[in-house]
Amino acid sequence: MKIAFDAKRAYQNATGLGHYSRTLISSLASFYSSEDYYLCAPKVTNRFATERFKNVENITPGDFLSKKFKSAWRSSWVKKDLKKRGIDIYHGLSNEIPFRIQNTSVRSVVTIHDLIFERYPQQYNWLDVQIYRQKFKYACRNADQIIAISQQTKEDIIDLYKIPEYKITVCYQSCEPRFAKTISEMDKLRIKEIYELPDCFFLYVGSMIERKNLLNICKALHELKGKLEIPLVVIGSGGAYKQKVKEYLRKYEIDKKVLFLSETDQAKISVNFQSSTDFPAIYQLSSGLIYPSVFEGFGLPVLEALWSRVPVITSNISCLPETGGDAAYYVDPHSPSQIAEGMLQLATNTTLVKEMQEKGWKHAQNFTAQKCAAEVMEVYLRM
């Protein structure tokens, strides 16, 4: 088969959609090497190294107009390139497919990661919501098959867009294999010194936006004042909500307990930080990941922590129990007190932590790169 992907995020995105794209493409190219893969990318960068795969080829804008209007090429004109190369299947990895691809001989699959903007439109720009709704709904209605990255997302597609269930397959995602590797003590010490990390800390990984719930983690830190003095290390970027969090920290004089690692000079200049290469060591240095998000499509940091044998505190709602299984410590994300109690348990209950680490590693085996690639390939083969 000749399988093409929308590879914009693979080459240009450093967060969730980019990780998903790179991991899935690499896994398919490795475990199903008899197939040919084509990456349709408006721009090729060094964020994704494909040279090691002999069965992967880039498709980029070729003519003057396509180079001039790359977004139009990606959203529609790419169909000409697909036809020229005899592509069998086109996979939109990030919620969209080319306009009117259903009128061609190319079959299409779309991965829908979440419909959070439909559930929490007030947390998005109004215009963005309209654009997302148009693109996502069009993709769901016109793609031959839909991949949902969680049962929660599948249910949302059915409920909100009235798409028939038979058209949707849940294919969980994996994460970078490096998270499964045990980092040596020497390397962990090196990373600790590079980023000037505390001896002991909790970890938060994710964008600083309202639904990710960093403010309630900080409220939990405030509740723990005088009881537990383990600081929080934050990896991620943010805007207005981040400032709201910082104002709270200053007001209650706990700003010294939170290190915004992504803002530090060392993180900004480190290629290994920007590419997430150093993240497994940072995870393994931590006392636990704190991820009480109000809503997610999958919750990749939870899986990264489980592979890293790091205990996780996460939410008892949305898709997060799917990702965390029986290994996570679940809390009501709206309750700072429950988050605080979870942090206290991770810091003091060594028996619980060991049990969570063992269960976490076992549960993570459900999300291996090979297993996730096999589930996606099965979708391709039945089209």
Residue 54 in tokens: 């002999």
| pLDDT for 14 | 79
Assessment of whether the complete model's pTM goes beyond 0.85: yes
| pLDDT for 8 | 96
Output phi, psi for 57, to 5 deg.
-135, 145
Output phi, psi for 128, to 5 deg.
-60, -40
- Residues lower than pLDDT 70 in the chain: none
Q: What domains are there in the chain, each with its CATH number?
A: 2-174+369-381 (3.40.50.2000), 177-366 (3.40.50.2000)
Alpha helices for the chain (secondary structure H): 8-12, 16-31, 64-68, 70-72, 78-84, 116-119, 126-142, 151-161, 185-194, 214-223, 240-251, 265-269, 271-274, 279-285, 300-307, 320-324, 336-348, 350-364, 369-381
| pLDDT for 176 | 85
| pLDDT for 358 | 97
| pLDDT for 16 | 81
Which string of b and e fits 51-87 if b means at least 16 CB within 10 Å? eebebbeebbbeeeebeeebeebbeebbbebbeeeeb
